[in-house]
Amino acid sequence: MKALSVALLLALLASVHRIPLTDYCFFSRSRLCVLWELQRRFLLFTGESDLLSVPPDPQVQGRETERSFENQKEKNVSKQEALNESQLLTMQDTFSSQGEDLARRKKNEERGHQLYKMSNKILKHSKSKKDKEEAYQLLTKAADMGHLKAMEKLAAALLFGYHGPQNITAAVTLYETLAEKGSHRGQTALGFMFSYGIGMEYNQAKALVYYTFGSLGGNLISQMILGYRYWVGINVPRNCEAALTNYRKVAFFIADKLEKNEEMPVEKVRLMEKSENLSSNNDFLDWDVHQFYKFLAERGDTQIQKAFYYFLKAAKAGNTHGMAFLGKMFLEGSVAVTQSNASAFKYFTMAAEKGNAVGLWGLGLLYYQGKGVPVLYRNVCELGSWSEKFLTAYFAYQDGNIDSSLIQYALLAEMGYEVAQSNSAYILESEQVKILSNDQMYPLALLLWNRAAAQGNAFARVKTGDYHFYGYGTKRDYVTAAIHYSLAVDHHIAQAMFNLAYMYEHGLGIPKDIHLAKRWYDLAAQTSPDASIPVFLARMKLEVKRLFSEIQLFKQTTIPAGKKSHATSWKTVCIIAYLTSYKHTFIWRHPSVQKTPFQRFIGL
């Protein structure tokens, strides 16, 4: 309204005094008075006299404006000072709080480290169960304080069941926390659990991601797993260069440890063979004896000859440790033997072919030194300290801790150890595992048998054929079963020959051929004495079938209607009675949990 009034006054002045409108923009004192008078009269004329006010004094108004500005300035300065003081106090409180937190965190780290060291010391030097429980209580306290290594060790104890009950759920929670903190051990463990579906979903893609992060973080187990996966082509394209890159990193580290005698090679026990043939202490007792001989050899030249004598005697008896240490003596040379790479290669190879760790190490060392031995870095990688899990897994199995044993073997299997793959599958077949659901058992066992078979285990090849024959963990597929049996036959496995003969006899997955069936039955009997009786019974069955076929043909051609051949009938009855006598008294030893074709044949 005021703006409108001013505009009307200016227009009125311009029209009455005929003065340009722009001249009134100069607000001198006289012009302001004139304007005020005109505004007063205009408001009286319009009836808005209540809006009249005393004309402002420019000087007074200027002083008031200056005073108001100074007051506002003082208020702003006071507010800024108060704000700065508040911010300063806040920053001081923050720094003080951060300092206290830092000091508290440092104190916790130091305390956690002390507890971790105390726990390790007890675990290293004490064997009593009570002391180990105390050690893990200290470890738990250190983990609660955020000590990274304590958290890693505690998570492993919960996962593998070391010195206490397993707790997969708690292990998963700890490993997820560790992975978020960038722990390569946590990432590797999560990859392993995703790979087997232990404690979480079965997801090979996520397993590969975690293994990759673990490998980039320098984790040797992840690098070894990736080396094996690229070598075989498990969920990744086969890539020998990538496999070699990963294996080389691990091999150089292990070779350095072995050279400094910081690693102890561990023998790998096959559960199938151990449960059938050997006592639980023989292998480890042999190892102790040879360690004593090694100690004698290191004492001086006079003892080396005695050590060489015992090593040679042990090697001739077929002992792998003797072969391996002979290879080492020939490699290094001494008064007892002349240095010879050829002899070293010979004994190392003999020991390595039977899975001896020192033999494999020797071959790897010869290859590393450029002696022309075509041994993969992978063989050296398998000599790492993680191979100690073969011992702890075996003892857990002996003590009835099936789940603990399975997880330890399964991790080794993931790293590419063929023995661990076979042992894991064997444990899964026992149907005593509680950490996996029933529908996971046979598919996972088949996967492990198949991986072991791909590494040359003929027994695993037969097992893979059995799974396809009966449809365990997969759809029944006689054709695939016949393929696996045929591959196992190349390794002279009597069981595979017998199964293949049975399939030829009945035309399962392959064309029916009685002559080939007889041939494979005979070869099975020649290959293994254990197969002689089953083959005899199977051949008798074939003869009975052939005899019945001949009787029917004879009846149709020569015997008049209403008459019988008593001699022929009597012979048939004798054969059937003979077969029946064996039906319930003989079972051919077969390691499969399920029935073999032969067992089905005799009705067991």
- Model confidence pLDDT, tens digit, residues 271-307: 887 655 444 344 443 444 444 444 444 444 445 666 6
Phi-psi region of 433 (alpha: psi -120 to 50; beta: other; left: phi over 0): beta
Q: Model confidence over 98-129: pLDDT tens digits? A: 666 777 777 777 888 888 888 888 877 777 77
Other CB atoms within 10 A of residue 509 CB: 19
Q: Which residues contact 115 (CB under 8 A, 6 or more apart)?
A: 138, 139, 141, 142, 145, 147, 150
**Which carries the bigger pLDDT value, residue 255 or residue 202?**
202
Q: What is the mean pLDDT of residues 61-79?
A: 62
pLDDT of residue 91: 67
Q: For residues 68 and 302, what is the distance between their CA atoms, to the nearest angstrom?
A: 110
pTM above 0.95, yes or no: no
Q: Output the average pLDDT for the chain.
A: 75
Q: Model confidence over 297-349: pLDDT tens digits? A: 444 444 566 666 667 777 777 777 777 777 777 777 765 666 666 677 777 77
The tokens of 290 are what? 């040879």
Three-state DSSP at 264 gives coil
Kindly tell me if the per-residue pLDDT of 425 is higher than 90: yes
Contact between 458 and 580 (Cβ < 8 Å): no
Which residue in 533, 429, 412, 539 sits closest to 473, CA to CA?
Answer: 429
